[in-house]
Structure formats: C-alpha cells, structure tokens
Amino acid sequence: MTKPPALFHVSRESLKAAADQLYERLRQEASHVFFECNWLDNVPDEPGVYLIWNTQGELVYVGEASNLRARMKDIGRTYNHTCRRAVGKHEFADHPQYVELTDNKSKYHPGVEAAITAYFKEQLKIAFEHVTFGRLELEYYLIEQRIPGFKPKYNSKTYKRARS
C-alpha cells in the first residue's frame, strides 16, 4: 500500500524562522493597554497567542487561547488566570495583606488585587496574534526559545518535549 501524498510540507527551520519573526514584530507592537478604557475592543475575538513583557523588555508570559478577547477578560480575575496569580505571588508576597492562594478558585485580598491590577497597567505590555492552527506548538516554542532557563517567570504549564 502506498502512502498518500502530503497536503503540504513545511520545514521545521521555516516554521522556526516564522515564529522568530513573529516574536520580533510582536515585541515592537507590545503596548501598555491592560485595563484602560475599552481596552478589550482592541483584542481580537479569535484564536491566537499573546505575549506579555515587563518594562525591562523581558518576556514574562506566553499564552494561547481559542478566543483571545474572552481570555483577556479572564486576566482581570485572579481565579481565572495563571499569569495574574503568579504576578501576585512573585511581585506582592511582601504586601502587608498578601496571603498565598491555596487553590485556583481563590483570589487575593482586595488591596493585593488592586496592586496587581496597577502592576499590569504600569509594568506589563502585551501583544496578540491571530493563529488558528498550531497555537500550542507556537506557545511552547516561544517559551522554550525566548524565556531564559526555559522556565517562564509567570507561566506554570508543564511542557514535555515532543519527540523528533
């Protein structure tokens, strides 16, 4: 039995080059838009990836979503977003009202929540890209290649290397 012809073939190198070009473009386009008036109007209502940088230019989070606008609504709720919980833990553990969260359905004290929101507004930049196919692979590649030590500052997903 013969193998059916491939619909298309894309080399690994060309995919990596495209991902690297995308990263550079998004890094330049990233802006401080979190929680500004009508900020969600600028977020596409489609599948894609999003990257978050701090003001020092360090990539701190890479995420993917089947609906970017819906996912960004989640970023304002600690119990719905890993990045927000991690920012609270890493940036505000010394806050006088900080108490470590014990599960994913909790939120911080209102004073800590306000500090996290202010941190997002003042210290973090975000950029989005519409991606329908291969979002998880792109997310993984960007984390692996762009976040030193392969351990993202705020990402908590566990990734396993795909076998070549």
Q: Is residue 21 very low, low, confident or very high in pLDDT (cuts 50, 70, 90)?
A: very high
Cβ proximity of 49 and 128 under 8 Å: yes
Query: Which sequence spans correspond to the domains of the chain?
Result: 19-150
Cβ proximity of 135 and 47 under 8 Å: yes
Report field, pTM of the whole predicted structure over 0.85: no
pLDDT at 4: 61
Residue 9's CB is within 10 A of a number of other CB atoms, namely: 7
Q: What would the pLDDT profile of 84-101 be if each residue is shown by its tens digit?
A: 888 888 899 999 999 888
**Helix, strand, coil percent values for the chain (each to nearest 5):** 45, 15, 45
CA distances from 120 to 34, 83, 134 (A): 6, 10, 27
- Of the candidate CATH numbers 3.40.1440.10, 3.40.50.10320, 3.30.300.30, 3.30.70.360, the domain formed by 19-150 belongs to 3.40.1440.10
Q: What would the pLDDT profile of 41-75 be if each residue is shown by its tens digit?
A: 889 899 999 999 988 888 888 999 999 999 998 88
